[in-house]
Structure 1
């Protein structure tokens, strides 16, 4: 490839969004339309919170992006590459570019913190080395740096099953970042955590997005947490995006569109409480 062709290729990559979802549809075998013509773009590093009622399509949307759930139709472009059209080998390579953090942590309980973090590099080392957990020195250094960054310095030899929920989630974040991903996906990362730990985890994610310039999409039930820590909020209702804006514009009217009037607006005061 000539120098001019390389420059043109880099220029084209710089112009296209990091993530572009086009007309995404997911229909389950039951006939349930979980996603209906969803369109979505991320063109800069930011924390995007996905909110909505249970069954609105939030988890399906997150999991379609890396094809843990197979879309029925539509396109999902990661730096211009359509993930939906990839074969198994291509999908394995694409998933290395997307870090996934789960509600249930998905750690190997009997392994140490360091082994769990290093598992984020399993897709980059050979089969024999991965079985032996043998990694290059630069990966070991990066793992120690990440453990320090997420507040787990000195925990590298602890077994995962000896950690608290917040500590496990920090291990999951460090493991995802070991992939050196272009995009982070978090599926209800605070659902099993207490309020204080939830705020700490959300604050940490926001700091890492800013530091590493890696966008994060977070499926979250806690509206207050989303408003406090997200740069952008997407509201789903019945498989459709009905809100896409900054947290400051998430008014009660917008929340009623997302959750439904009967689910959001408080009951009218009929004065019963003040009658003697």
Structure 2
């Protein structure tokens, strides 16, 4: 379980990126963070694993206060937090397999990874994960030969090979076309369900969030503006988070998607 208690981030300029954010995310729950640019979504994710240091408040993962850990303790804790990046963060000249195995750096150490001397169990797990994300045939391809969707799948496999307790996902579909975006969101949610893994997904596409996740949290100017189920999203809620706009089409897109997925009985 992940607990955020009055998490606050104030920059030296005096700007507050986060203000007293309090959330509890149970094991296995996939949560989407929505909100306008500058609302604090990426900052929140990075405060959880302390890529950005919170100014105050606490982050507690399965009873461990992440914000109180020393540098050594934090390195170990980050093994338990898989990160999936918007821009993939792959090493372009390395193969797909090598990029996936880099997720084991926190376990095998620099020199073993530099010399490509991973335990056979890690290699076997990397092959299994590549098969699961649909990239087994591309294990030996260089990362710079892949499409955006394929790169994101490599990033997912790399995060999962850490065997994390929590996934932190920053804009996984921002650079992808609509079909691939749905495939990536579906894959992330399926993998979380398979592993009983909690996830926090920063996402701009409200309709996509509504289609796939079980809980949506809206941020506005660093503060919680909404916390509820996708079915509770309304024009009024979206106006509160983003400002005045005609939101009917955004919500209707989700309804249309649900209608499209209803099985049709064959005509005999």
TM-score by length of 1: 0.88
How far, CA to CA, are the matches of 2:246 and 2:42 in structure 1? Answer: 20
1:142-173 Cα shifts (integer Å, max 9, x gaps)? 00000000010111100000000000000000
Which of residues 196, 203, 210 in structure 2 aligns to 1:213?
Answer: 196
Structure 1 residue 227, shift from structure 2 partner: 0.3
Which position in structure 2 is the counterpart of 1:86? 69
Check conservation: 1:256, 1:265, Cα contact below 8 A.
Answer: no
1:30-87 Cα shifts (integer Å, max 9, x gaps)? 1111101000011131211000001111111011000111100000001111111111
Matches of residues 87-166 of structure 1 in structure 2 within 5 Å?
A: 87-166=70-149
Q: Greater CA radius of gyration, 1 or 2?
A: 1
How far, CA to CA, are the matches of 1:71 and 1:150 in structure 2? Answer: 34
Which of residues 235, 249, 256 in structure 2 aligns to 1:252?
Answer: 235
How far, CA to CA, are the matches of 2:110 and 2:49 in structure 1? Answer: 23
Structure 1 segments (4+ residues) deviating >2 Å: 261-266
How far, CA to CA, are the matches of 2:109 and 2:17 in structure 1? Answer: 38
Structure 1 residue 265, shift from structure 2 partner: 8.2
Matches of residues 1-276 of structure 1 in structure 2 within 5 Å?
A: 18-261=1-244
How far, CA to CA, are the matches of 1:123 and 1:195 in structure 2? Answer: 34
Q: Secondary structure of 1:68's match?
A: coil
1:159-203 Cα shifts (integer Å, max 9, x gaps)? 000000000000000000000000000000100111110000000
Structure 1 residue 215, shift from structure 2 partner: 1.0
Unaligned runs of 5+ in 1: 1-17, 267-276
CA RMSD of superposed structures (Å) = 1.3
Count, aligned residues: 249
Check conservation: 1:255, 1:264, Cα contact below 8 A.
Answer: yes
TM-score by length of 2: 0.90
Structure 1 residue 127, shift from structure 2 partner: 3.1
Q: Secondary structure of 1:99's match?
A: strand
In terms of mean alpha carbon deviation, does 49-58 or 127-136 score higher? Answer: 127-136
Check conservation: 2:235, 2:246, Cα contact below 8 A.
Answer: no
Structure 1 residue 128, shift from structure 2 partner: 2.3
